[in-house]
Amino acid sequence: MNDVKELHKQFLEYLEIEKGRSLKTVENYDRYLRTFLKFSNINDPKNIDDESVRKFRLWLNRNNLKKKTQNYYLIALRVFLKYLAKRNIKSMAPERIELAKVPQRELDLISEEELRRLLDSPQGDDLKSLRDKAILELLFSTGLRVSELCSLNREHIENAKTGEFSVRGKGEKIRVVFLSETAKQALKNYLEKRKDVEEALFIRVGNLVSDNLRITSRSIERIVKYYAIKAGISKKLTPHVIRHCFATDLLSAGADLRSVQAMLGHSNITTTQIYTHVTDKQLREIHKTFHAKRIKND
């Protein structure tokens, strides 16, 4: 008999070593899969079947979990079943698990005018102001995730004069991102002001205890919130909203969805399709402006 607990352990090692998943991702898969195994009380993978999955889904739903959250558990189980199939271990076919339908989420966006005010908010030539200006410009120019921004080192942008550099994103995948002229200038001004030898691109400043330490995601969230208030933006503004602005700005200017997918680092085009409302809106305006004009004129 195949011990499901041992297979669970081997599966997590497989994710980490062979698939190159981050430790955080492995921890999440561990938690989701452990929850299923504990609920179903299954010891042998051959006992994972439609009925055990149905009961688990019912339990998730009755615990008032959002459909999107329920899908995280189902995806983890499906990937585990694929792993078992790869090893020719008898169990339920992974394709039998269908994900819950989730409504397309609305994007949190700010106007072009609000975005301009945000980017112009950091004033002054002190290190903190120059750093904050560089952070905001870099977020909008590259569409980086906040975790990706925090992990950057100075060496990553040594070739910033060319206007591009590589970043390691989710799933350890490397992609190229591009700098606008204003982002390049903001980075140049900030780095010229730096007098330390810390390798991190963005460091915490203004605190004797935390000088020359890599900035955290939470700190960047606070920086964005601070300048949003300073710019008179009443909406909730986060680094991820700036990432949304990056994508919609490209699409509004005529970029194709595949290119935007590559620049955002999305592994699946369906993730990028949340931005198609931008092009849909443009089509609606074109239709409104030009449709049936000749008939009406006649």
E-only strand ranges, the chain? 164-168, 174-178
What sign has the CA pseudo-torsion 181, 184, 189, 190? positive
Task: Write down the pLDDT at residue 296.
Answer: 54
Q: Residue 10's pLDDT is what?
A: 95
Whole-structure pTM value: 0.68
The pLDDT assigned to 157 comes to: 83
Write out residues in the chain with pLDDT < 50, as ranges.
208-210
Dist. CA 229–CA 222, nearest whole Å:
11
User: Would you state the pLDDT for residue 46?
Assistant: 93
Domains of the chain: 4-96 (1.10.150.130), 112-284 (1.10.443.10)
pLDDT at 122: 95
Catalytic residues: 145, 170, 240, 243, 266, 275
Per-residue pLDDT at 292:
57
Query: Cα separation of 59 and 69, whole Å?
Result: 13
List the beta strands (DSSP E) in 47-201.
Answer: 164-168, 174-178
Q: How far apart (Å, rounded) are the C-alpha atoms in residues 265 and 142?
A: 11
Contact 116, 161 (CB under 8 A): no
HEC assignment per residue over 157-207? HCCHHHCEEEEECHHHCEEEEECCHHHHHHHHHHHHHCCCCCCECCECCCC
Tell me, what's the pLDDT at 164?
87
Residue of 263, 256, 230 lying closest to 140 (CA atoms) = 263
pLDDT at 144: 94
Under the phi-then-psi rule, with left for phi > 0, alpha for psi from -120 to 50, and beta for the rest, what region is 239? alpha
User: In this predicted structure, what is the pLDDT of residue 68?
Assistant: 87
Kindly report the length of the chain.
298
